[in-house]
Structure 1
Amino acid sequence: MAQSAEKLGWLAEKVSAGEIETVLVAFPDHYGRLMGKRFEAEFFVEQVAEHGTHGCDYLLTTDMEMEPVQGYRFANWELGYGDFHLVPDLSTLRPASWLEKSAIVLCDLEDERTHALVEVAPRTLLKRQLERVKALGYTVMAASELEYYLYRISYPEAHKQGYAGLEPAGYYLEDYHLLQGTREEPFTAAVRRHLKASGIPVENSKGEWGLGQHEVNVRYAEALEMADRHAIFKQCLKEIADSMGLSVTFMAKPHHGQAGSSCHIHLSLWKDGQNAFAGEESYGPVKGSKVFGQFLAGWIAHVPDLMPFYAPTVNSYKRYEDGSWAPTRLAWSYDNRTAGFRVVGHGPSLRIECRIGGADLNPYLALAAALASGLDGLERNLTPPPIFQGDIYQARHLPRVPYTLGEAVEGFAQSAFAKEALGEAAHEHYTHFFRTEWQAFNRAVTDWERRRYFERI
């Protein structure tokens, strides 16, 4: 509460001085996109900060094209598509320095009548898992490493070209390459500067393995704050690119034959200011606590149950190629980039890096999945499989991640664990959401099909 009051006081001062004129009031949808409204700053301070605002509940039933999809219990034509309540979380209030005289705040969604949290909202799902963690006496520290591709073409022009033949910002593989990174620095420096000025501290940026592929890493934080940083990060990068006549994509696999874009999630549990993963139990060459081993075991075990939360689109599954830097099999190892679960650090810095998620994931859903899985490991005292050493791409005996979104969705739909962990309503809601995405793809006629069959079939 004290932090919220301090943030609101800061905003009131900036508004009075004429330095802030607009407040973006936003929430993440299923895809992790930020939806919401822009408010005159004076009105936000006087009314919205305390009372919130409203949004149409169809926003949690739309597809990528903003078409309302039928078949949801939560909202539909029969129910009339009413409102839910947007409640600003003032602890998230910060400048949006990449926009002129603007601030941004993220919201929780509540039922208009009962004021209970909307159970199917992504931010709610993460908060519910964090409540379970808190009940056990832990806090969660997390970081999400996002990769993206940068192009020397504006979004409108890319759209006109059907997103084909786009010129990447780089013309050779630039992983850690400073010279090529310098050529992209006008964009990347602006990103680092504006993230920092917007209360999202940055650690570094670097070139990645694809043509024009890059990564900007922000500092780790408590899990909900990290998810909020992730969502704002993507909004910031897209809008900076748009303002510079460039474009970025967070597709998991925008190009055949090049590296996919990942979202590596680093996570550890903490208690009384100490890393609860640190300990002297032996897990092969790794020293950690029983909590570490149990959490790791649960996280690995339940990837098949919650896979759509790490890989939510049809394109996500194109990334899982052997020898491509993306993990294809469920195993853990120490400091081994072929592993789906790469354990890094030691002692107080010991943490689990899950490399399965793509840059297209929704951070709230992915972190909720990680916590639900790890907590099950704690509650059932699970033991992780033996550490794997070597090239996991060659370990054909290990279980593989699903090949398609369709396969992953059916695993999710049939999972008793997913239903229990998320609650029946949320499980049904997201089953319908992911099935709808898969069905939309199956109905589409692709350029690949026309090139292959138009003349020669």
Structure 2
Amino acid sequence: MTLKGMLSMEELHTMAANEEIETIIVAFTDHYGRLVGKRVAADFFVEKIAEEGTHACNYLLTTDMEMEPIPGYASANWQKGYGDFHLVPDLKSLRIADWLDKTAIVLADVHNQEHQLEGIAPRSILKNQMKLLQTLGYTAAGASELEYYLFENSYRQAHEQHYQDLKAVGWYLEDYHILQGTRTENFHGRVRRHLQRSGVPVETSKGEWGLGQHELNIRYAEVLEMADRHIVYKQCLKEVADSMGYAVTFMAKYAEDQAGSSCHIHLSLWKDGKNAFAGKESFGGVACSPIFRWFLGGWMKYTPEVMPFFAPTVNSYKRYQDASWAPTRLAWSYDNRTAGFRVVGKGESLRIECRIPGADCNPYLAFAASLAAGLQGIKDQTAPPEAFSGDVYAAKELEMVPTSLADATALFSQSSFAKNAFGEDVVAHYTHFFQTESRAYEKSVTDWERRRYFERI
């Protein structure tokens, strides 16, 4: 059954002819997960771009947050002249952007000049893992649960205030509170309706544990479709907030005295229409299959080596604090929110929830890293540790997650697993990207430093 808001080319042709759709956004994500691309006239898209694609400057996968082209990348640089790559619309992702006037959006694959997937593009990295998954006869179902903070200030006001003294929409911790959630229904009711009408089916929304923090969950799907939904979701929330004079942030740790914002990743493998994780073995109190055990074992073993795909910014690592709802140590447990890997469900609903990624992750990279680690576990029949019982935060003997982007990048750059899974060119490219991000932070002078040292040092 076609989801409400998803469009076939036949439907788009009719809507464009009737001027119900006038603009098509053709976009892909950069390293950070930001949508970049073009707005195309609907009739031109129908006549030409849908089949032939369009072009964009290849510097878009070599820039920093400020859109400055960074030297040192092999894929694109000043010596090569910063040419174009080819954007090929994935028409399966074509959907109405209900929050915008007479607009549809399609996510594109990035191709190189040889008309092959550009290996360093985030969506390409996930698609390559899915190809490997399919050769083994599996599909993967996934979900990503996003948390965020909502403010009464506009983005422009927040910028002009240097992101200080912002007014959160809530003034007490509202986790699951209906009254406080009602106060933001002008925003959350609107985005739920827009998402429903844009091919992104919504399950729930609720208050979270921080002041003005919320969570809106969407239905699980095959992992590429889920990653696409994740991107559309974020874009919708940001643009609706902007139109209403609000601001929403997906920073992993917005404020030192507030809860971090996560992106819990749920995954299960399927084969012949059945959950391949389900089985009759008993392991840690879970009725499961060997595939479940090996996938979990690989995911846990290789997480430190792919950590930048889960936690890609300097800010990401400030979320990992004991007793904060964010995991700090590598352990698994059944329905235990102190564990980095929380197993939930049973039978056909059995799945692994990885609580390590933050809301700032690029979903294509996070899902790709999860699949690659799990599939390596299946290949090697990697046994996970025994299930942990109790408070993982108090278990000082357990291995901790990496504590900084610099440390995580060093592990990633030297990982033979990552090089085999993604390719040495991909590891080199993203190592340079993460190192660039770390160096930019190391050179900056922060408000914390001024408050601490200006007078008293």
TM-score normalised according to structure 1 size: 0.98
CA distance in 1, matches of 2:444, 2:414: 26
CA distance in 2, matches of 1:6, 1:158: 36
Provide, for residues 346-401 of structure 1, a one-character-per-residue CA deviation record: whole Å limited to 9, x for no partner: 01100000000000000000000000000000000111100001000000000001
Q: Identity of aligned pairs, percent?
A: 64
CA distance in 1, matches of 2:50, 2:78: 31
1:224 partnered with 2:218: no
Residue 432 of structure 2 corresponds to which residue in structure 1?
Answer: 432
Residue 132 of structure 1 corresponds to which residue in structure 2?
Answer: 132
1:149 partnered with 2:149: yes
Q: How does 1:114-193 map to 2 (within 5 A)?
A: 114-193=114-193
CA distance in 2, matches of 1:141, 1:29: 24
1:263 partnered with 2:296: no
Aligned partner letter, 1:409: T
Aligned partner letter, 1:279: G
SS at match of 1:268: strand
SS at match of 1:302: helix
Residue 28 of structure 2 corresponds to which residue in structure 1?
Answer: 27
CA distance in 1, matches of 2:404, 2:137: 38
Provide, for residues 426-449 of structure 1, a one-character-per-residue CA deviation record: whole Å limited to 9, x for no partner: 010000000000000001011111
Residue 442 of structure 1 corresponds to which residue in structure 2?
Answer: 442
1:18 partnered with 2:11: no
Q: How does 1:261-340 map to 2 (within 5 A)?
A: 261-340=261-340
CA distance in 1, matches of 2:122, 2:167: 34
Which structure 1 residue ranges, 4+ long, deviate > 2 Å from structure 2? none
SS at match of 2:67: coil
What is the Cα deviation at residue 167 of structure 1?
Answer: 0.2
Provide, for residues 1-30 of structure 1, a one-character-per-residue CA deviation record: whole Å limited to 9, x for no partner: x99x97111111111111101000000110
SS at match of 1:353: strand
Over aligned residue pairs, what C-alpha RMSD do you find? 1.1
Q: How does 1:341-380 map to 2 (within 5 A)?
A: 341-380=341-380
* 2:154–2:247 CA contact under 8 A, matched in 1: yes
SS at match of 1:433: helix
Q: How does 1:196-215 map to 2 (within 5 A)?
A: 196-215=196-215
CA distance in 2, matches of 1:306, 1:204: 30
Q: Which runs of 5 or more residues in structure 1 are unaligned?
A: none
SS at match of 1:279: strand
What is the Cα deviation at residue 257 of structure 1?
Answer: 1.5
1:92 partnered with 2:93: yes
Residue 62 of structure 1 corresponds to which residue in structure 2?
Answer: 63
Residue 78 of structure 2 corresponds to which residue in structure 1?
Answer: 77
TM-score normalised according to structure 2 size: 0.98
Residue 50 of structure 2 corresponds to which residue in structure 1?
Answer: 49
* 2:7–2:94 CA contact under 8 A, matched in 1: no
What is the Cα deviation at residue 313 of structure 1?
Answer: 0.3
CA distance in 2, matches of 1:345, 1:10: 38
SS at match of 1:280: strand
Aligned partner letter, 1:431: T
Residue 8 of structure 1 corresponds to which residue in structure 2?
Answer: 9
CA distance in 1, matches of 2:284, 2:358: 28
Aligned partner letter, 1:118: E
Residue 39 of structure 1 corresponds to which residue in structure 2?
Answer: 40
CA distance in 2, matches of 1:232, 1:70: 30
Q: Which runs of 5 or more residues in structure 2 are unaligned?
A: none
CA distance in 2, matches of 1:279, 1:235: 39
What is the Cα deviation at residue 230 of structure 1?
Answer: 0.4
